[in-house]
Structure formats: C-alpha cells, structure tokens
Structure 1
Amino acid sequence: METPAAPTFRFAHYLTVQPTDIDELHHVNNVRYVQWVQDTAAAHWHAAAPPEAQAHYVWVVREHHIRYLHPALLGEELRCTTWIGEVRGAQSQRFVRIERAPDGQLLCEAETQWVLLDPQTKRPVRVTPEMVERLQEPV
C-alpha cells in the first residue's frame, strides 16, 4: 500500500490508549486500529457535513487495507489524521495515519474505500462535488 502525500488540508482526531485497547501482548490490539480508522472517518464526516446531509446519507466500508508498523502502548496519546483521495460515483477513497502524538512516530496507516448510501433504500448515492469540497475544507 503506497500512501500518497497528504493534501494541504487534513482532519486530525486525538485519543489516548485505554486499558480496554490492550491485548495479551500488552499493546493495542489490531482490531482497535480498525475501529479507530472508522471512528476518525466518522468524526471527520460529522465535523464537515451539515446536519441535513448527515440525516440523508450514511457511509459504509467497502474495503480496508491496513499496515501496522509499530505498537501503541497503554496511556499513549495518538493522533489519527485523515484525508480524502479519489472520489468516483458513490465511492470515496480515504487515508488514515495513526501516529504517536508527542513524537510523530507512524504506528499504522490505512486506505479505505467507502460507499455513500441512502439510509432508507440502502442504495448507493453519487458523491456530489459539494460533498467533496466540504470534506476538503478546514473544519
């Protein structure tokens, strides 16, 4: 997985590793990284999209590609940074980098393909240029 350079605007979400995130090897379980990737995308959508858009659309994961590089440990503060890549039809590519906040050490990087749905019909909906613009603006 080659992560392209992030655009000028990126959305950052911070968290602190909790005891429930830790596995039997005394570091963050890989499943928690997947959850954080999804949580970061959701936080960005909720910060960028107006309430009416949030009520009329829902994003679902089509595919994740995740690379784990270094472990995260109990009590560490992490910075989860995301940005949008290519948008085609109802699909949007999103990148997430999870770093240790104090020193910027890259722990995990992910590329996810998301699909925009109408929550009533569960059918794909085309991502509009206005949505892309909102997701690329500072919030």
Structure 2
Amino acid sequence: MQVFETSITVQTSDLDDLQHVNNVRYVQWVQDIAQAHWLKNATDDILSAYFWVLLSHHIDYKNPAFLGDTLTLKTFVSKSEGVTSTRHVEILNSTTGQLLVASTTKWCFLSKETKRPTRITEAVKTLFD
C-alpha cells in the first residue's frame, strides 16, 4: 500500500468563528489530497479515459488545528474492487504528530467516454499498491 503525503500551513482563510480550522476546510483538503495522489500517479492515457466521483464520505474530527499550524496530510487506497475504491486520509499536526482528522471515502470509477461506472483496471489498481 502506497502512502501519499503532503503538508500545508493553516491560513486565516481556513479558520471558523472559533479561530480553529473550519470542518468544511478539512473536507476540502481530503478531496484535494485524493486528487493530487490520482494526478501524481495516473498516466496521461489513464487520465484521458477515466475519472472518479465520490460516493460516500466519513470523517472523524479528533482535535483542532489553529492559525500557523503545519499539517501533514496522508492518504492511501485500502481496497479497489469492481467499480469502487476505498481511500483513507489522515491529517496530523506536523509538530506534535497528533491526529486531527481521520477520513474514509468511497469513490466510483467512471469512463469519460460513457460517463458510466466501469471496472477498475489492473493498471489503475497497481498505481496505488
């Protein structure tokens, strides 16, 4: 299982009225890292033929993050079967290592030509092994 990782620093625009990261921002970061992982690994041929849509999203908010915190975002795919894939994202405080958010998302693989679900190819499965 391949883990993809990136880091970000919390900006003023990420904060809510309580002056910690807004829950909606975490959801956006979960989507952003999934997309970045896909784009980093997929070939041009794969990108021109397929895309993903989100089927379900579960997120556990464990601890807050604040202005100026550096966060580590990690993601990996735990399962790809048929037309669906399960992806996990963890967001941690880079300084303390404290888990802030844990997310599990289920994605559906679609053909760009038909706009319909299509079986995940072996070439795509191996992108995330």
When the two structures are superposed, what TM-score results if normalisation uses the length of structure 1? 0.88
Which letter does structure 1 place at the counterpart of 2:49? Answer: H
Pick from 108, 111, 114: which aligns with 2:107?
114
**1:72 corresponds to 2:58:** no
How far apart, in 2, do the equivalents of 1:60 and 1:14 lie?
A: 24
1:15-37 Cα offsets, whole Å, 9 max, x none, are 11111110001000100111100
Give the length in aligned residue pairs.
Answer: 129
What stretches of structure 1 of length at least 5 have no aligned partner? 1-6
What stretches of structure 2 of length at least 5 have no aligned partner? none
2:98 paired residue number: 105
Cα shift at 1:129:
1.8
When the two structures are superposed, what TM-score results if normalisation uses the length of structure 2? 0.95
**1:95 corresponds to 2:85:** no
How far apart, in 2, do the equivalents of 1:119 and 1:32 lie?
A: 28
After the TM superposition, list the runs of 4 or more consecutive aligned residues in structure 1 that deviate by more than 2 angstroms: none
**1:84 corresponds to 2:77:** yes
How far apart, in 2, do the equivalents of 1:20 and 1:119 lie?
A: 34
Supply the RMSD in Å over aligned alpha carbons: 1.1
- Give runs of aligned pairs for residues 37-48 of structure 1, distance below 5 A: 37-48=30-41
Secondary structure at 1:12 match in 2: strand
1:10 paired residue number: 3
Between Structure 1 and Structure 2, which shows a larger proportion of strand residues?
2
